[in-house]
Amino acid sequence: MPVVSGTDIGLDNTCKAVSSLQEFFGKGNDSKTTLKGALLAYQEALKQDLSLLGADSVLAQQKQERLTQIEAYLNVVKHLEHHEELECLNKGFPSYPRPLEGMLQDKSGSNLHSIILRPTRQDAYIRSEASIPLFSVAHDSEACQRWDTQSLLQKTLIDTYSGLRLQAQNVTSQLMERVLVRLDQVGQSDFDDLQKILQEETLALTGIPINFNQDAQGKPLNQERIKQEIFLVIQ
Provide the domain count of the chain.
3
Residue 13: the pLDDT is: 54
User: Quick one: average pLDDT of 185-201?
Assistant: 85
- pLDDT average, residue stretch 117-123: 80
Q: Domain for residue 192, yes or no?
A: yes
Determine which helix (DSSP H) or strand (DSSP E) holds 135, and give its type and residue range: strand 135-136
- 86 and 26 share a domain? yes
End-of-domain residue from the set 111, 132, 161? 161
The verdict on residue 1 lying in a domain is no
Q: Is residue 166 part of a domain?
A: no
Q: Does residue 82 sit in the same domain as residue 32?
A: yes
218 within domain boundaries: yes
What pLDDT, in 10s, does the model give residues 138-173?
888 887 888 888 889 989 998 998 888 777 678 888
Question: Poorest-confidence range of 3-17, 89-103, 128-142?
Answer: 3-17
- For the ranges 34-48, 122-136, 143-157, 182-196, the maximum mean pLDDT occurs at 34-48
Number of separate helices (H) and strands (E) present in the chain: 8, 2
84 in the same domain as 40: yes
| Claim to verify: residue 78 and residue 108 sit in the same structural domain | no
Q: What is the pLDDT of residues 5-39, one digit of tens each?
A: 555 555 555 566 677 788 888 887 666 678 898 89
Among the candidates 134, 161, 188, a domain finishes at: 161
Q: Is residue 185, in this structure, part of any structural domain at all?
A: yes
Distances (CA, A) of 30 to 6, 15, 82: 17, 13, 18
| 198 in any annotated domain | yes
Q: CA-to-CA distance for 233 and 235, rounded, in angstroms?
A: 5
Judge contact between 5 and 117, C-beta under 8 A. no
Give the end of a domain, one of 113, 134, 161: 161
Residue 3 lies in a domain: no
Beta strands in 13-101 (DSSP E): none
Domain that holds residue 118: 98-161
